[in-house]
């Protein structure tokens, strides 16, 4: 049974934006989020030890989220804002961290 044509009207650039934000943006966001958690939580060694497995799970969730948007570039914008917010958390977390 062929797909309904009304669901196939998005441009190739929207497909590229959704796929790239899911794969690349999702991985960067998952990694930055775990680094920020390691700097802000009281026991960073446990976070770093379990991050090998939990980054993969969180990345899988972040790969699905862009496909819920109609506009793939909006998903990229959301991921970039979250990456910048986590980067600020890392920067300010390094000031008081015992890891550095």
Condensed to tens digits (0 to 9), the pLDDT of residues 28-83 reads 999 999 999 998 888 888 888 999 899 999 999 999 999 999 899 999 999 999 99
Q: Which residue, chain included where needed, has tokens 């969180």? A: 58
CA distances from 21 to 51, 93, 98 (A): 21, 26, 33
Q: pTM for the full model?
A: 0.85
Q: Is 67:22 a contact under the CB 8 Å cutoff?
A: yes
């Amino acid at each position: 049974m062929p797909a309904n044509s009304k669901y196939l009207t998005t441009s190739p650039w929207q497909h590229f934006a959704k796929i790239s934000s899911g794969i690349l943006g999702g991985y960067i966001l998952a990694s930055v989020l775990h680094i920020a958690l390691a700097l802000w939580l009281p026991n960073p060694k446990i976070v770093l030890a379990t991050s090998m497995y939990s980054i993969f799970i969180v990345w899988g969730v972040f790969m699905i989220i862009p496909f819920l948007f109609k506009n793939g570039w909006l998903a990229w914008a959301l991921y970039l804002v979250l990456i910048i917010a986590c980067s600020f958390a890392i920067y300010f977390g390094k000031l008081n961290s015992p890891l550095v």
